[in-house]
Amino acid sequence: MELDYLNRCEQDLLQAVQDAEAAVTQLRRFAASFLLMQSRQSTPGTNATTIASVKSTEEGWLLISLPVMLPRRGEKDRARFLDEPLRAAIRRYCQDRPLPKFQTCVLVYEHIYDAAYPRRRVTDHDNLELKHCQDVLESAFLTNDTASLCSVFQCSHPGEEVGTRIWILTPEQFGIWLSKHKTSWQKSQETEN
């Protein structure tokens, strides 16, 4: 009888943990949609806010901007809260133009962190959650995000405003992007004594 009681307690505890994680995911979605974030912009004609944007640059590159750093990779859907803001930005972008579809591409994730952060607080690239953003971008702009059609490049650098920029480039445009954005990826050659 005591064993049954302990088993029920264990099951109840596990269920409570799952419910709490689901509630956190819902809270993140709510926060992304409605609460103040660093780069809030009013959407014309509405009271809604924009935390993601999509635009074409003069060079013909596609730029997706988020005013947040991507979260650390984990067991749960920590980046799921970015799905709807990204989709909303894509809907706004395609209101007056057709969506471009990339057969092959390079996704450049440019992580911009606060220059005041201690170096140890900057997250390693292999610990950042890219999947949810990439899935949303694939459904809108990419033929497929398989490794044979889509390459990924990540870089981090300090900046005045924390955020993430995701560039969608053709393979031919990638070399030009690298040459024009050296401060985004090229590290100082100075060494500490």
Residue type, 128: L
What's residue 128's pLDDT? 61
- Using DSSP bridges, classify how beta strands 150-159 and 105-114 pair: parallel, antiparallel or unpaired: parallel
Cα separation of the two ends of the chain: 67
Contact between residue 185 and residue 155 where contact means Cβ atoms under 8 Å apart: yes
In degrees and rounded to multiples of 5, residue 39 shows phi and psi of -115, 50
Tell me the residue range of the domain where 98 lies: 2-185
Quote the pLDDT of residue 163: 85
Phi, psi of 154 (to 5 degrees): -125, 140
Is 105 a domain residue? yes
128 φ, ψ (degrees, to nearest 5): -90, 145
Structural domain includes residue 175: yes
89 domain-assigned = yes
pLDDT of the residue at 76: 60
pLDDT of residue 62: 95
Asked, for residue 52, whether it belongs to a domain, the answer is yes
pTM of the complete model: 0.66
Residue 191 lies in a domain: no
- Report CA-CA distances (Å) from 141 to 15, 69, 99, 130: 38, 22, 7, 16
Of the candidates 88, 117, 84, 103, the residue with the CA atom closest to the CA atom of residue 170? 103
Give the closest residue to 69 by CA, choosing from 162, 131, 153.
Answer: 162
Residue 181 included in any domain = yes
Q: How many Cβ atoms sit within 10 Å of the Cβ of residue 35?
A: 11
Q: Which amino acid is at 135?
A: D
Which pair of tokens denotes residue 175? 């070399």
Q: Is residue 192 part of a domain?
A: no
Residue-level pLDDT at 193? 34
Does a structural domain hold residue 97? Answer: yes
Residues of the chain with pLDDT under 70: 1, 22-50, 71-81, 118-129, 186-193
Could you give the number of structural domains in the chain? Answer: 1
Cβ neighbours, 10 Å, residue 179:
8
